[in-house]
Amino acid sequence: MTRSLQIALKDLFLQKICVVYPGQKDYPLSDRIMVMGLQNLLSTLPIAP
């Protein structure tokens, strides 16, 4: 985990961060940071009519 992510969690009072990348695998980076593939993220979003 980078220092900037640690600072963002603390300064912005975030409970979790999701890092999106152009790959396909999802995996936890820490207990509060999840790495998620773009395609997987898009498949979880609701489709607007």
- Rounded Cα distance, 42 and 45, in Å: 5
Q: What is the pLDDT of residue 29?
A: 92
- Rounded Cα distance, 49 and 45, in Å: 13
Q: What is the pLDDT of residue 17?
A: 94
Stated pTM of the model: 0.74
pLDDT tens across 9-40, in order? 999 999 999 999 999 999 999 999 999 999 99
When computed from its CA atoms, the radius of gyration of the chain, rounded to whole angstroms, is 12
Q: Where are the domains of the chain?
A: 3-44
